[in-house]
Amino acid sequence: MPLSVVVAGANAHDTKLLEATLESVVAERPAPTERSPQHLRLDKGYDNPTGHQTVARHGYQPHIRRIGEEKLDTRGNKRYPARRWVVERTLGWLSKCRGILVRYEKKSENYLAMLQLACALLWYRHWWNLRF
Summarize pLDDT for 40-52 with one digit per residue, the tens.
Answer: 888 888 888 999 9
Compute the distance between CA of residue 87 and CA of residue 72 in angstroms, rounded to an integer: 24
Same domain flag for 4 and 67: yes
Pairs from 50-53 (Cβ < 8 Å, separation ≥ 24): 50/15, 50/16, 50/18, 51/15, 51/18
| C-alpha atoms less than 13 angstroms from C-alpha of 29 in its C-beta half-sphere | 18
- Among the candidates 48, 72, 96, a domain finishes at 72
% pLDDT > 90, the chain: 10
Q: What is the value of pTM for the model shown?
A: 0.70
Pairs from 83-92 (Cβ < 8 Å, separation ≥ 24): 85/43, 90/1, 90/2, 90/122
CB-based contact 52:35 (threshold 8 Å): no
Average pLDDT over residues 76-93: 70
pLDDT given for residue 10 in this prediction: 83
Domain annotation covers residue 78: no
Compute the distance between CA of residue 75 and CA of residue 28 in angstroms, rounded to an integer: 44
CB-based contact 7:111 (threshold 8 Å): yes
Residue 51 CB coordination number (10 Å): 22
pLDDT given for residue 34 in this prediction: 84
Confidence of residue 86 (pLDDT cuts 50, 70, 90): low
Domain count for the chain, please give it: 2
Average pLDDT over residues 65-85: 68
Mean of all residue pLDDT scores within the chain: 83
Confidence of residue 105 (pLDDT cuts 50, 70, 90): confident
Same domain flag for 52 and 2: yes
Q: Which domain holds residue 92?
A: 84-132
